[in-house]
Structure 1
Amino acid sequence: MDITVNLDGEFEKIVQFHSMLQNRSVPQQIEHWAKVGQIVENNPELSYNIIKEILSGIKDAKLGNIEEYKPIKL
């Protein structure tokens, strides 16, 4: 579903800046921040770095960039 959202001019500049840094479109950047915000609200004990790693892992799994974990034998 597509919706139109009016952003404050200053916030729009911030989103554009971050979207360029992350190689995302403006809508993708807003969606990313919304996902992070949702995860934070549902899991306040998680740090931002852990959330980034989780999202990165999910993205890798969707792209098929996974390999079987093989524990080290001591």
Structure 2
Amino acid sequence: MPLFDSKGTQNYNCSLLLQGEAAMGIPIRIDEALYETAKVRAKAEMRSIPQQVAYWAKVGKAALDNPDLPVEFVRDTLLALEEESEPFDFPNP
């Protein structure tokens, strides 16, 4: 549902789920353009809009914490950390 701030700018209320919190959200205001972009990307990436915004925040925070690394590397590393994997056993020569 759109909200309007004191300047008349349309904002959207988007509840973000905190990591480790079960179904607990915190409402935040984001502008319409960001909301619409998140809506499109969320659909394409099979996420909810709040999950998409949280994902962008996670990647952005990690990129800011590691300014010497390319953002693509940060994104790919975060994705790799979330993937399920099995240990690899090296064959004995």
TM-score, length basis structure 1: 0.77
| Structure 2 gap segments, 5+ residues each | 1-23
What is the identity percentage for the equivalent residue pairs of Structure 1 and Structure 2? 26
Supply the RMSD in Å over aligned alpha carbons: 2.0
Q: Which has the higher helix share?
A: 1
TM superposition outliers: structure 1 runs of 4+ over 2 Å: none
Structure number with higher relative contact order (C-alpha < 8 Å, ≥ 6 residues apart): 2
| Structure 1 gap segments, 5+ residues each | none
Q: Which has the higher strand share?
A: 2
Aligned residues between the structures: 69
Question: Highest CA radius of gyration, 1 or 2?
Answer: 2
Question: After superposition, where does 1:1-74 map in structure 2 within 5 Å?
Answer: 1-60=24-83, 63=84, 65-68=85-88, 70=90
- Counterpart CA distance in 2 for 1:37 and 1:53 is 13
- Counterpart CA distance in 1 for 2:26 and 2:51 is 13
